A and B are shown apart, each in its own frame.
Chain A
Amino acid sequence: MADRVVLAVDQGTTSTRSIVFDRGGRLVSVRQREHRQFFPRPGWVEHDPMEIWANTQRTAAQALRDAASSAGEVVALGIANQRETTVVWERATGRPVTRAIVWQDTRTADLVARLSSRPDAAVVRERSGMDIAGYFAGPRLRWVLDHVPRARERAEAGELLFGTMETWLVWNLTGGPDGGVHVTDVTNASRTSLMDCRSCTWDPVLLDFFGIPAALLPEIRPSVGQLGTATALGSPIPITGTLGDQQAALFGQACFTPGEAKCTYGTGSFLLQNTGTELVRTRSGSISTVAYQLAGEPVHYALEGSVAVAGALVQWLRDGLGLIATAPEIETLARTVADNGGCYVVPAFSGLLAPHWRGEARGLVAGLTSYVTKGHLARAVLEATGWQTRDVVLAMAADSGLQLPSLRVDGGMTTNNLLMQFVADVLDTPVVRPMVGETVSLGAAYAAGLAVGLWADVEALRRNWHRSAQWSPVPRRAAQLAAEYPTWEKAVRLSIAWGAD
């Protein structure tokens, strides 16, 4: 008999992917479909929830069909989703009242500034674990209630439902208006600013602060456990795992022990470090967030360092400057020179996130002399991603006191050997890449499969994890970069000063 398999849906910012994994954590089939990006005004970014739901059904059906010949029974469905993207829809019809407001959207800046200046603003950090920021979903939900006609009144009457993308998909998969299950997982709930980070329940004080009626909120559930049965994909499949995408990557990288950390290098970079079952109060610029929760077990927390621009800077070198034809060619260009030639690039295209949190910062290229060539610029672009990883790691070490034994990496930029060696040297820590690069989908599959007993426990998942590559720090180079770090810090200060007033 063919082995049992798990279906994972990775509902991301640019596309929806459906992937079938076998018990060895190996990819059996994969289907992907991109969705439209709407930019109705400067700073606004929207998605069509109906399009994303249609893409989910379509790619899931295709991936299941592709796997049908070789794979056995599909025993569970797991979902990983773009975080903080906000959907509000009608309970009776399933129609969204407006397009989804995407995590990159900055329309709530004024609202957030207003809320932050309130005398009671400190309750947000005290209770949610995070400062007030437009990055999280709560302010976006408030914006919908304030701006969509009759939305507040209808929400209070229980006619509307709110959710992040996994909530929207689970509700539709389990029947939609016809008995759909309205739930969110604890990792996604922790990104709303509305949840009490210790009890992991909706916090009445925070709901009052943000002006959110409790009637439209989903029930908060563990990340691993029974949520409902997907009836929309042909044969019924239990939905048993949901995680925000970065938490899913942490899970897929098998970072189950305090101190273990992963960094995903995509458009931006997201470093998460498991801190165990105690919430860490941050002071140095990292965020405390929920890592995952298994049904019936305590919540596990993580520290997170989000960097807005990593691969996006390489895309800028390609599309904005035309210095390379494809993104991987940056390594070829960078290897035409031996060092950065004194050049530094701070990619603060729309401010700096962790650990600086300076929205006003703007990008700069520092240290130009006539000696600098496009090769040096390419090096500086790659090094910017490495320096930013160091910024985040230092902040986390200050907050958690946990040593980083090694950094597990994934994402498109991990095929860049020059960058990965630089990260190892600049952190003075080994950098390791796993055999399965699709860690977000794998994490969703692991969560779902764990709940139905396809894997016995997290130790079984840890045994599935194998190294495909390792970059070890070179002591002399690490010392050199440690000495060079203040120069990078100076460039960051300049980029903040440049954007001020």
Chain B
Amino acid sequence: MPGSVQSLERAAAILQVVAGSGGTLGVTDIAAAVGLPKTTAHSLLRTLLGVRFVEQDREGRYALGPGLLRLGAGHLDVNELRSRASNWTDALASRSGHAVRLAILEREQVRVVHHVFRPDDSAQVLDVGSVLPADRTALGKVLLAFAPHRSVRGTVDARRADVAAVRARGWAAEDGGHEAGTAGLAAPVRGSTGLVVAALGISGPAESVLDRQHQPRPLLVSMVVESAQAISRELGWHG
């Protein structure tokens, strides 16, 4: 690539690796992943820390930083998001038989930005714009777990294991935590930079979302995860 700036290319590669990890990475792993000596990777990471594009946790491992979040956050308009997601959310409702919601994190609150009715023609009310409890809904758990910087994730520091589990699994579940008898599943939707911009979820009667052991039905989990991935691709994510 003639005329390109090598250190910028390398910094971009590092950001992609960190974003793609979905969690935190140590400098050794990062250096190995981008094929650079550890010292070079370290000095690039120091610069990225300075502009807050990455941040370090207590163990010195790296995650994406709040600077990057601000860069990405203003970019995707929620109405644009709804419009681009619409075909996939309709298909998910129609295949799963459950109501579908798309939610974003807005000033540490979980806000519903799109809602598709349960396809049984029963009386239902659109709840676009409403706020959900972050720590008691599958949508909220996903958004908190994948929030790119710790200042947000930190609000549930007591539940670090939960956060780690959601990140590792790639989806979250709720079982009556928000409304008695209602269960839900959600998965992250990524924007073109790989940052999680929204959560996509279904919810419905616990007995139809969960099996007899109170575990989410695998078929529903894969539908939600695949639909979230399809929307991510629609938004330009190639991960």
A interface residue numbers (CB < 8 A to B): 24, 26-27, 325-332, 412, 415-417, 435-437, 466-471
Contacts and interface: CB of A to CB of B under 8 A. Distances in A.
Given A26-B91, A326-B77, A329-B77, A417 B128 contact: yes
B109 interface: no
B119 interface: yes
Nearest to B75: A325
Given A26-B95, A326-B77, A417-B126, A469 B116 contact: yes
Given A328-B82, A415-B82, A466 B77 contact: no
Closest 10 CB pairs of A and B: A466-B119, A328-B83, A331-B79, A328-B79, A328-B80, A415-B83, A468-B116, A329-B77, A435-B94, A415-B86
Given A328-B82, A329-B79, A437-B90, A470 B95 contact: no
A72 B116 CA distance: 29
A377 B231 CA distance: 31
B119 to A, nearest CB: 4
A6 to B, nearest CB: 17
The dominant DSSP class at the A interface is mixed
Contacts of B90: 435-437, 468
A332 B117 contact: no
Contacts of A329: 77, 79-80
Contact of B78 (A330, A332, A467, A468): A332
Contacts of B79: 328-332, 415-416
B94 A437 contact: no
27 contacts: A26-B91, A26-B95, A326-B80, A326-B83, A328-B77, A328-B84, A329-B77, A329-B79, A332-B78, A332-B79, A412-B83, A415-B79, A415-B86, A417-B128, A435-B119, A436-B90, A436-B94, A437-B90, A466-B119, A467-B117, A467-B119, A468-B93, A468-B116, A469-B116, A469-B126, A470-B117, A470-B125
B115 interface: yes
A26 B94 contact: yes
Interface in B58-113: 77-80, 82-84, 86-87, 90-91, 93-95
Interface string B113-141: 01111011100111010000000000000
A437 B83 CA distance: 12
B75 to A, nearest CB: 10
Nearest to B114: A415
Interface residues of B, number: 25
Given A326-B80, A329-B79, A435-B94, A470 B119 contact: no
A27 B84 CA distance: 17
A446 to B, nearest CB: 16
Interface string B204-239: 000000000000000000000000000000000000
Nearest to A25: B94
**Of B77, B93, B119, most A-chain CB atoms within 10 Å:** B77
B77 A332 contact: yes
Given A437-B87, A467-B119, 8 more contacts: A26-B91, A26-B95, A325-B77, A327-B83, A417-B128, A435-B94, A466-B119, A466-B121
**Of B79, B83, B128, most A-chain CB atoms within 10 Å:** B79
A327 to B, nearest CB: 8
Given A437-B86, A437-B87, A470 B128 contact: no
A26 B126 CA distance: 23
Contacts of B83: 326-328, 412, 415
B153 to A, nearest CB: 27
**Of A329, A416, A469, A471, most B-chain CB atoms within 10 Å:** A469
Contacts of A330: 79
Given A26-B94, A415-B82, A466-B120, A471 B77 contact: no
Contacts of A326: 77, 80, 83
A467 B117 CA distance: 7
Contacts of A467: 117, 119, 121, 124
B152 to A, nearest CB: 23
Given A328-B80, A328-B83, A469-B115, A27 B121 contact: no
Nearest to A26: B94
A26 B95 CA distance: 9
**Of B95, B114, B120, B121, most A-chain CB atoms within 10 Å:** B121
A469 B78 contact: no
Given A26-B94, A435-B93, A437-B90, A468 B82 contact: no
B26 to A, nearest CB: 39
**Of A27, A435, A471, most B-chain CB atoms within 10 Å:** A435
Contacts of A327: 83
A469 B124 CA distance: 8
B28 to A, nearest CB: 41
